[in-house]
Chain A
Amino acid sequence: MTTNISFNNIEKVYNTGAGKFSALSPLTLTLNAGDFIGLIGHSGSGKSTLLNLLSGIDHPSHGKAIIAGQDIGELSEGKLATFRGKNIGIVFQFFQLVPTLTVLENVILAMDLVNVIPKYSRKDRALMLLEQTGVKRHYDKYPATLSGGEQQRVAIARALANDPKILVADEPTGNLDSENSETIMSIFEECAKAGCLVIIATHEQEHQARFSRVLTLGDGILQNDTQYPITNTHRSDKLLKEGLCHAS
C-alpha cells in the first residue's frame, strides 16, 4: 500500500491567556491510500485540530508531518497553498463556496488556481464532476439559490477538481438531512475505493459502519484506532465504472 500521510510525534499546543493548552497530544500515525477513515470524537476532542493538520491548513507545534511524500514543515505558505490545491481536496462543514461565482465557476476556480488540469479541458471536467455529484443541472446558478445538500455536493466537486490523492472533510453532513447525508457519504466512499485517501471528521454514529478505519479522539488523545474490512455497497460498482474520482 502507498503511504499518503505519515505523522511522527505530532503535537499541537496553543498559547492562551491561561497558559499553554495542548489541543492534540503527541501522536504518531500512518494513513494509506484507499483508506476511508472516520475521525470520531465529541466537541473539543481535537478532531478538528487533527483534521486541520491532516489537510495541511495548520502546522504542528512539534513533530513531523509528511503528506503525499512532502514534509509540509519545509514549505512556505505560498508553496503549501499550491501543494494543497494539487494534492488535497477539502470539504468544509459550511460548504464555503464563493457566493459571487456560479456553481460551474466555483469548480473551475479550483483548477485555475493550481494549473494542473489543462485549460481547454477544465470546463468539461467541471461539468463532469457536477454530473457525478448530481448537481449538473444547477451549473449556472449561484450558491445561494441551492439547498444545503446541493451546495455540499458542489463543494465535493470542487474538492475533486484537481484529482487529489487525499480528500478531507470536516463534518460534511453536519447541516444536511439524512437522505442527503447518505448520498454525500456514498460519494466519499466511492472516492476511497478509487484509491483516494479519504478522511472524514464526524460525530454522527450512523456513518461509522462505512469507514475502513476509525480513529477515536478524546481530550486531544488518540483513544482508539480500529480497522474494519472494506465492504462494497450496491452503488459502488456503478460509480467505479464511471470513474468518479479519477476521471482524467
Chain B
Amino acid sequence: MPLNISFSIIKKIWRDLTERKARTILTIIGLLIGLWGVGSVLIAWQVLDNDLSENFTSTNPPAIILTLKSKPVQALTQSKNNAIPIKELATLQGIATLENRPVLTGRLEIYQDYWLPVVFSVVDNFSKINVAKIFTETATSPPQKNSFFIERDGLLLANWRLKMQVTGSEPHKAAKASHDSPRKTVPNQLLHFGDKPIKLRLKGGRQFNVELSGSVHDPAQAPSRMEQLIYGYVTTETAKSWTRGELVERLLVLPNHGYTDATSVRQIAVRLEEKLNELGYQVSKISFPSTTEHKHQFQMNSILFLLTGVGMLALLVSVVLVLNLINGILTSQVKQIGILKAIGATKFHIASIYLGSMMILGLIASLLAIPLAVGTGYVISAKIAAFLNFNILTTTLPFSFLLMLLVAGTTLPMIAAITPIKRWTQVSVISALQYAETTSSKNNVNLPLPLPINIVMGIKNAFRKPRRLLFTATTVAIGLITFMLAMNTSTSLLYTAEQEETQKRYDLMVLFEQPVKASRVTWMDKFSIVDHAETWKIKRATLIHSNQLDDEIRPLKLIPSASKVMRPFMLTGNWLNPEQAGGVVINQRISHGHSQYKVGEQLDVLINGRSMKLPIIGVMKEFGGASIYIREGDFLELFPNTEQLINSAFITLKEPNEKNLAQLKRLMDQHLTLADIGVSDMASAKKASRIIRGHLDVIVSALLLLALLMLLISTLGMASGISTSIVERTREIGILRAIGGKPTAIATILVTESMTMAFIGWLFALLLSQPTSKLMTEYFGTALVEYPFDYLGSSEGIYYSLFGAIVLVILATLGPIVSANQQSVQEAISYE
C-alpha cells in the first residue's frame, strides 16, 4: 500500500511537537549541539586534509635528495669554477628539475646566552625555485648579503617580531590566503632584533653578526616550534662568505613522470649517482623523502581523529536525547496509536507520523547547526593550520558536502528513533487500547533507611523506569567523563613533563660539532656551581630490517660505567648493567613499529661498517629521537681499536635554578670558544618538558571546551528526562498536592530523583574515566610527539565533577519543578 501522508497527519506531527514546546526545544538544542560538534570537525577535516596536501605539494617536494661528500679532484684542477654542472645533470633521463640546495648548520643567539640551532638552506636563485619551493611573506627577494630569511614559524619559536611594515596577515594571526595573494611590503629594509644584529655561530666555531631581512613560508618543513629548530634561507654568496666556499652540496631532484613510480625514481637516483661518480663527485647519502604526505600529516589526522571522537560522543548524547523524547511521546500516545489503527491506520501511517516528527527535529537542528559548524570548522582549521604552519586555502565548501551534512543531520534522529517506533507501531490494537502505564512492583527499590519520605520517594522514583534511568545516567556520565578526561589529561601532561625531568639527572647537555679528546674538557667540573660533569661518546648505527638498511642513522650512545646522569624509566627489561654484558637498551621510538625489537631479541645493526647482532636487554621510555644505549666498556670490547674521543657532555649543577643554568651556559660558551671546540647544541634538560608543556595549553583548552559542551548536553538530557517523567506523573503529582503535599515537598521529591540519577551517572563516569583517560593521554602523547604521556589521575577532577553533577541537577530540574507546581490540582488530577 502506498504511503499516504495526508495534511491531517502532517498537522498531527507538527502539533505533537509544539504541544510540549519546552521538551521539543530541549531536544532540538541537544541535537543542534551534537550536529554542530561533529559538523565542525568534519568541515575541519574536509578543509585541512585538502589544504595540508595542497600546501605541501605546492612546494614541489623533491623525490630524491643526494648529499655529496666533497669536491672532486678533477673539478679543482680543471676549472676555477667549482660549481656542479647542474644543467648537464638535469638532462639525464627521467629528471624534470634538478637544483642544488646546500645546507649549513649553526646556532643563532635568540637573546643573551640563549641559542637555538639553525639550518640554513642555500638558494642559488630566489626568483627561480622550482623544487622544494618557499614562499616569501614579508620581503622582496633575494636576501641581501650577510642577511637571511627566516621561516615564519621560527619567528614564533624565537619570539621575534619583524619590524618591516607589511599589509596582509602576519604569520599565524590567521593562517589564511594562498601564496598567490599579493602582499604589499615596504621595499627591502633590513631589520634588527633589538636594534642589534644577530649572532650566528657556524660549525667550526666561526661567528658572525647577521641580519634578518624577511620571512618566508616553507610548508614542507616540520614547524620550528615542534623541532625547536630555526630554518633560514640565504644566497649562495652569503653562504660562501660564511663558509669560505666550503658548502656541502645537496641535489634535489623532481622526476618528470610524477611521484608514483617508486622503481623509476630509484633508477633515476642510480643514474644520477653514476654520472656524479663519473664527474668525480662522491655521494654520501641518497634519500627518498615522502612526496605525497606532509611530515605531520599523522599528527593532524590524530588531532582530528580525537576531535571527531569527542564530537561523536556529543552526537551520541544528542541521540539519547532524541530517544528520550520519542519514548516519551510514544508512551503517552499508546492509546492514540490504538485508536488510529482501529479507524484504519496501518503501521506505515503510524511510523510516518513519528518518523516525520523526528525528521522535522533533525531538519531544524541541522539548518541551525550547519552554519555554526562552518564557522567553528574554519576556526578549528585555522588553529590546526597555525599549529602545523600551513595556510588555509579552501574558502568555500562544496555544496554537495553541505547537502550531505544536511541529509545526515535530518535522518539521524529518524534512524535513532526507528527501534522504539517499530516497537510501538507493531503493538496490537487491543494491547494499545488496554495499555496503562503501571508501575511494576519489581522495579521498586526497598529502602529501609531512616530517610524522610520525600527523599525515599525521590530515590524510588528514579528506579521506576530502568530504561529512562539508564538513558539519563548515561547522558550525565558522558558529560562528566569528558570533563574528568580534561582534568586527568592536564594532570598527566604536567606529570609527564616532571617525569621527563627526573629521568634526566643533568642540567645541561652539550653536543660538540666534532669529536674531541676528553682531556680537552676536563675543566668542566671545576666550576664552583657544577656538581658533576661527564662526557659521552655517541656513535652512529644503522638498523637492518629484513636484510635491508634503514634510511635513518640512529645515535648509539656509549654510557660510561660510572654514569650518574641517566635514570631512565624502563618499559620492559632492565637498564644497562654489568651482569648483562654486551646488551643494548633501545627507546620506544625504535621498538614502536618494529615488533621484533623487544627484550630477549637481537638488534640487527651496522656500526662502523660492520654488521652485528646485539641482544636487547631493555626498552626505555625517552622523549626525543630514536636512540640505542650500550655500556662503553662493552662497545670497546666489540671495537677495541676505537679512538677515545667524546662528542657530548652532561653537567649537573650543585643548586639547579635558572640563574645558575644561565651562568653555566655562559661559562661553557666562553670556555669552549677559547678551547676552539665547536658546539652544535647546548640544551637544558628541561627542553623536552618545555615541549610537552607547550602542547599542554592547546590540548587542555580544547578538551575543557568540549567538556563544557558535553556538560551542556548532559544538562539538556537530564532536563528532558525529568520533564518527561513529570508529565507522565502529572496525575500522581496532582494527587500528592491534593492530599497536602507542599511545593517544597514536590520539589524535594523531584530533586532527589534527579540527584539519584546524576549520582549514578557520576559513578559510571568515575569508573570509566580512569581507563579512558589513561588511553587518551597515551594516545595524545604518541600522536603529537611520539612519546606516550605518563598517566596520573586528577583528584580535583573527581571533586569538581561531583560538584558539576550537582550543579547540573539544579539547572536541569529548576524548570520542570516550576512547571509541575504551576498547574492547578484539578487540572493535574484530571490529566490523562
Contacts and interface: CB of A to CB of B under 8 A. Distances in A.
A173 to B, nearest CB: 19
Contacts of A55: 342
A84 B342 CA distance: 7
Nearest to B8: A109
B10 to A, nearest CB: 10
A231 to B, nearest CB: 31
A181 interface: no
A52 interface: yes
Contacts, number: 86
Contacts of A84: 342-344
A110 B348 contact: no
Interface stretch (B333-341, B507-515, B580-588): B333-341
A113 B343 contact: yes
Nearest to A107: B8
A139 interface: no
Interface stretch (A85-93, A145-153, A202-210): A85-93
A78 B1 contact: yes
**Contact size range, B:** 20 to 34
A31 B732 CA distance: 44
Contacts of A112: 4, 6-9
Interface stretch (A32-40, A64-72, A98-106, A232-240): A98-106
A211 B344 CA distance: 27
A9 interface: no
A25 to B, nearest CB: 19
A101 B4 CA distance: 18
Interface in B1-57: 1, 4, 6-9, 11-12, 15-16, 19
At the interface, is chain A mostly helix, strand, loop or mixed?
helix
B344 A98 contact: no
Interface string B338-365: 0111111111110000000000000000
Nearest to B350: A81
Interface residues of A, number: 29
B19 A100 contact: yes
Contacts of A158: 343
B6 A96 contact: no
B511 to A, nearest CB: 78
B645 interface: no
Interface stretch (B73-81, B428-436, B552-560, B620-628): B428-436
Contact of B344 (A86, A99, A101, A108): A86
A160 to B, nearest CB: 11
Given A110-B343, A113-B344, A96 B11 contact: no
Given A77-B347, A113-B340, A113-B345, A57 B8 contact: no
A82 interface: yes
B12 A92 contact: no
A109 B15 contact: no
Interface in B164-208: none
Contacts of B1: 78, 82
A230 interface: no
Contact of B336 (A57, A82, A98, A115): A98
A199 B320 CA distance: 46
A114 B347 CA distance: 13
A115 B339 CA distance: 17
Contacts of A101: 8, 11-12, 15
A133 interface: no
12 contacts: A78-B348, A82-B344, A84-B343, A92-B342, A100-B11, A100-B15, A101-B11, A105-B11, A109-B6, A110-B343, A112-B4, A113-B6
Interface of B: 1, 4, 6-9, 11-12, 15-16, 19, 335-336, 339-349, 428-430, 433
The 7 closest A-B pairs by CB, nearest first: A85-B344, A112-B6, A100-B15, A57-B429, A113-B344, A109-B8, A78-B346
